Amino acid sequence: MAEHRFEDFNGLVIFRRNYKEKDMLVKILTDRFGKKMFYLRGANSPRFRMAAAILPFTKAEYGGDIRDDGLSFLNNVKSASQFQAISNDLFLNAYATYILNLIDVAFPDSQPLGFWYGRIEQALTLIDEGFDAAMITHIIEIQLLQVFGVQPHLESCVVCGRTDLAFDYSESYGGLLCQRHWHLDPNRLHANSRAIYYLRLFSVIDLFKIQSVTVKPETEAALKAIVDQIYQNSVGLVLKSKQFIDKMFTFDSAMPKLKKVAPEIDRSSKDD
């Protein structure tokens, strides 16, 4: 394999940091080469010609020198656009940052991401368009579980395969238990059944077919508790950006308000 090559590719800025006096390191999620760290000489000076293409929450068509190992380089930008709503809203910003963090942790650098590139771009697009950011984030979290090596069995009861009884989630069984088998795990999550419904739905839902998502605040809290627990215990991941969301969530829950999101999820994506 060539040591380096000039390539055109699509990318999403994951993060950037200053380097030396006027330079920057910018990590970009690319559609073809996985995550790559780019070294941008002079990027921190006010007249840098590619400034708009390396802002946080930007997607662009780049041209650059992709190195198999070490830092890569950007040569030009064909088109760049920033997710405006995400950039301007602290809450949306927090969710998008967490999603990008998750994908950064889930895959090693330089490993092509397959369909995950499109999925992450679509998640950010939906959040930018006003879809409930917490729900879009849960969909990504739940679908990423298998990348983290956790493959919860959510199709049916782990023990008997039934799908017609109430379900609960069992960490020790790695999936759902139907009501008849709840006795097998006294430590099952005792989760709210609507939350379990969304856990199952979100594991298979197609982000490209979603029309809207509405979840009642109490169901949202219950779903968050399940996902948080699986991430803590089975994935073992604690990200700073997630802790920030947790603080926001606590604050948000303390403020009575009406959620202004429209009902129903695309029926074609329903799982039963």
| Interacting residues with Zn ion (CB under 5 A) | 157, 159-160, 162, 178, 181
Residue partners of 153: CB distance under 8 A and separation at least 6:
173, 174, 175, 176
Give the nearer residue to Zn ion in terms of CB position, either 16 or 181: 181
CA torsion 129-131-132-134 (nearest 10°) is: -70
Q: How far is the CB of 182 from Zn ion (least distance, A)?
A: 9
Q: How far is the CB of 196 from Zn ion (least distance, A)?
A: 14
Q: How far is the CB of 183 from Zn ion (least distance, A)?
A: 10
Q: How far is the CB of 125 from Zn ion (least distance, A)?
A: 39
Q: How far is the CB of 137 from Zn ion (least distance, A)?
A: 30
**Are 29 and 120 in contact, with CB atoms under 8 Å apart?**
yes
Give the nearer residue to Zn ion in terms of CB position, either 105 or 159: 159
Bridge partner residues of 79 (DSSP): 61
Give the nearer residue to Zn ion in terms of CB position, either 118 or 175: 175
Residue partners of 95: CB distance under 8 A and separation at least 6:
127, 133, 134, 136, 137, 245
Q: Which long-range contacts (CB under 8 A, 24 or more apart) does 157-163 make?
A: 157/181, 159/184, 163/272
Give the nearer residue to Zn ion in terms of CB position, either 40 or 158: 158
Q: How far is the CB of 262 from Zn ion (least distance, A)?
A: 35
Q: Among positive and negative, which fits the CA dihedral 19, 109, 207, 236?
A: negative
**Are 202 and 211 in contact, with CB atoms under 8 Å apart?**
no
Give the nearer residue to Zn ion in terms of CB position, either 129 or 164: 164
Give the nearer residue to Zn ion in terms of CB position, either 138 or 181: 181
Amino acid, single-letter form, for residue 269: S
The closest residue (CB) to Zn ion is 157
